[in-house]
């Protein structure tokens, strides 16, 4: 389970979005920080495309937490990013940089990620980008 989560973030950092999507179940649930839940790889692919258009991000200092339950895991890391293009409903992007702590929770099914739930301090991110 730990190698799967480590591979997920290494693949995220590599920019290979199709390889990242291969780590997910077809019906993956993506719980967006302070947002709704999107279901399925197509929705996740669209989310990644929007993120890649608006942000350049790298996961750093990754710690993966597991338990005796093989269906659940968690991670803590920092996201280092640059705000490239204005994302809908957010402040104007002018190339601001940020370094933000993130927590994530996962459900694992049949060797793939079935749920990703990301959590970070949106108010702190807003401060970092000058909102």
SS3 34: coil
pLDDT tens digits for range 25-46 = 999 999 999 889 999 999 999 9
Q: Which element (helix H / strand E) includes 61? A: strand 55-66
Separation in Å, CA 26 to CA 19, 40, 41, 109: 14, 6, 6, 11
Q: Note the pTM of the prediction, 2 decimals.
A: 0.95
Confidence at residue 49, expressed as pLDDT on a 0 to 100 scale: 97
d(CA 2, CA 67): 10
pLDDT tens digits for range 46-95 = 999 999 999 999 999 999 999 899 999 999 999 999 999 999 999 999 99
Strand pairing category for 55-66 and 72-83? antiparallel
| Residue 131: pLDDT over 80 | no
The mean of the pLDDT values for the chain is: 96
Confidence at residue 83, expressed as pLDDT on a 0 to 100 scale: 97
Confidence at residue 34, expressed as pLDDT on a 0 to 100 scale: 86
SS3 72: strand
CATH topology of domain 2-128: Nuclear Transport Factor 2; Chain: A, (3.10.450)
pLDDT tens digits for range 1-15 = 899 999 999 999 999
Domain residue ranges of the chain, discontinuous segments joined by +: 2-128
């Amino acid at each position: 389970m730990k190698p799967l989560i480590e591979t997920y973030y290494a693949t995220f950092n590599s920019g290979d979005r199709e390889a990242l999507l291969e780590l997910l179940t077809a019906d993956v649930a993506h719980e967006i920080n302070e947002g709704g839940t999107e279901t399925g790889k197509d929705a996740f692919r669209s989310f990644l495309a929007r993120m890649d258009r608006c942000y350049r991000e790298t996961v750093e200092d990754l710690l993966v937490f597991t338990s005796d339950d093989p269906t659940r895991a968690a991670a803590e890391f920092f996201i280092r990013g640059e705000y490239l293009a204005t994302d809908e409903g957010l402040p104007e992007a002018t190339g601001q940089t940020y370094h933000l702590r993130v927590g994530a929770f996962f459900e694992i099914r049949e060797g793939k990620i079935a749920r990703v739930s990301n959590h970070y301090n949106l108010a702190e991110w807003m401060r970092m980008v000058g909102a």
